[in-house]
Amino acid sequence: MLTISRACTAEDFTISGELCRMFGAWDAEACRDYDIPSEVVAAFFHSEDNEALAAKYSQADASLLLARWHGEPAGCIALAPFDDGAAEIHKFYVDSAFRGRGIGKALLQAILAEADKGPRSTVLLHTTVYMKSAVSLYKAFGFTPCPPFRNIPDAIKHTEVFMKRPVEHDSFIM
pLDDT digits (tens, 9 = 90+) for 85-127: 999 999 999 999 999 999 999 999 999 999 999 999 999 999 9
The answer as to whether 171 is a domain residue is no
Check whether 47 has a pLDDT greater than 50.
Answer: yes
- Contact (CB, 8 A) for 78 and 65: yes
CATH of the domain at 150: 3.40.630.30
> What stretches of 31-128 show up as alpha helix (H) in DSSP?
38-45, 50-57, 103-117
pLDDT at 123: 98
The answer as to whether 11 is a domain residue is yes
SS3 70: coil
**Long-range Cβ contacts of 154-158 (<8 Å, 24+ apart):** 155/36, 155/37, 155/40, 156/31, 156/36, 156/40, 156/41, 156/44, 156/128, 158/34
Q: What are phi and psi of 147, to 5 degrees?
A: -65, 155
The answer as to whether 31 is a domain residue is yes
Q: What percent of the chain is predicted at pLDDT more than 70? A: 97
Kindly report which listed range (27-41, 95-109, 124-138) carries the lowest average pLDDT score: 27-41
What is the overall mean pLDDT for the chain?
Answer: 91
The answer as to whether 174 is a domain residue is no
- Contact (CB, 8 A) for 126 and 118: no
pLDDT at 172: 46
Check whether 171 has a pLDDT greater than 60.
Answer: no
Binned at pLDDT 50, 70 and 90, residue 170 comes out as low
Q: What are phi and psi of 93, to 5 degrees?
A: -155, 140
Number of structural domains (the chain) is: 1
The answer as to whether 172 is a domain residue is no
Q: Is 83 exposed, middle or buried (0-12, 13-18, 19+ CB in 10 A)?
A: exposed
Partners of residue 37 on adjacent β-strands:
none
Domain range for 130: 2-166
Q: pTM for the full model?
A: 0.91
Kindly report which listed range (22-26, 38-42, 78-82, 92-96) carries the lowest average pLDDT score: 38-42
Give the Cα-Cα-Cα angle 56, 59, 60 (nearest 5 degrees). Answer: 150
Provide mean pLDDT across the span 81-88. 97
